[in-house]
Structure 1
Amino acid sequence: MEALVITPVKDSPETTRRTIEAVAGAKGEFLYLVYNDFSGRETTDYLIKNQQRLKYRMINLQDITDNPSPNYKLVLLMAQQRALEYKVPLILIESDVVIRENTICDLLKLSRTLSKPGIIGVATTDREGNYNFPYAHIRKDGKPWAETRRSLSFCCTMITLDFLEKYDFKQLSSKKDWFDIHISRQSRKLKFKNYLVKENGVLHLPHSSRPWKQLKYSDPLKYYLAKLFKRRDRI
């Protein structure tokens, strides 16, 4: 086994199916874990029924914690423990991302050639192949990858074994919901380098798993009020 691949799932059954089927069809030697974070019945039934066919193991967070979704810190803690046990890197593929057949293999190959990698992200695109959120700022310059000081999203991202051995996710704040910015910064703080793969991007359907986040684009005021008063989307 060369990697531990994980997908946290919170509803969005259609994109979840596409994500899991893409990972199931990907090349590489890896263990695939799907963390069901208090999804509804339709999504949960799908995750239960398709484990053998699509070669993943479902971990039902409702059996582990009473804390409502999102439980990203718990997922990261559990995944880090497993990755360290297996001595492999951790690859996160979120449930609104559709990878390519070679995405995992290419990440593993690239990680072996880079200088002191901590985190390696893959750029995301829309259906037309244009870079989209959270990498809409990228310019097409012909370079397949580049070192970056910007934070990397966890849409499709590898966290290397060397970094996992240096930084304990138990240090992550329980007051936050998302940790990609913090972990990106910790990687650099520990003298690792972060990289972004710009060629062969992965399809991203932004925030399909949490529809209320679409308000960030359609009704920003309502989004930020929810963020403030309902304590949502804490980063």
Structure 2
Amino acid sequence: MRYLLFFYLCFALLPWSYGQEQFILKGVVFSDLNKQRLPYVNIINQRTQASLKSDEWGVFSIPAQIGDTILIQKEGFQEFSKNISAKQNLVVYLKGVIKLEEVVVTQPSKKADQKEVLDDFRSKGVYFNGSPPLLFSIFHPLTAIHELLSKDANNAQRFVQYISRENAESAVDRKFNKWLIMKHIPIKDEDVAEFMFLYRPKPSQVTYWNDYDVIKYIKDSYEKFKKRESR
């Protein structure tokens, strides 16, 4: 009788144990205003009070359990909360806060922001982002040395590498996003994040894609996704 009671208690506690299993919740955060990724967003697990920031691409990973509530916060945007009901990945679009006291609201483009930073480097004598051409170095040796060795030149090089990666990822976001995916395949809303993480194309793939290529890739990937889910 005691053995029967022991086994009964073990099976009765199985669902509870499973519910307490910890996993790594992954996600990516976008601005709902311009669909661009949001860097350095605050991610908080309300139960554990663990907090971290998303990286420069808006990507984050945080320990969680089913039943946890995740808060996502960034200045200038509405707070977003999500109850975790299953092991999943998140794609979050934060809505911008409208400030009533502002009469004119302008949204500077990413390209304008990048140009402003590069112009600042130009004003400091860095004209070739830390890599002056040979001919320029021959006729302007002092400027070339500054271009190669100065701290500003190193910062310019890093910034150019950053915007190159950022622009490449933005090109992917324009052709592989939640709106386009849900428009062209009958996928459930709760499955979109997982689908996007599994089948996000590389920047080199999307360079020459037209609309037909985008739709075909989404549909072909969805067939793979369905087979994967049915295993």
Band of TM-score, shorter chain = under 0.3
Larger radius of gyration: 2
Which of the pair is proportionally richer in helix? Answer: 2
Q: TM-score, normalised by structure 1?
A: 0.26
Q: TM-score, normalised by structure 2?
A: 0.26
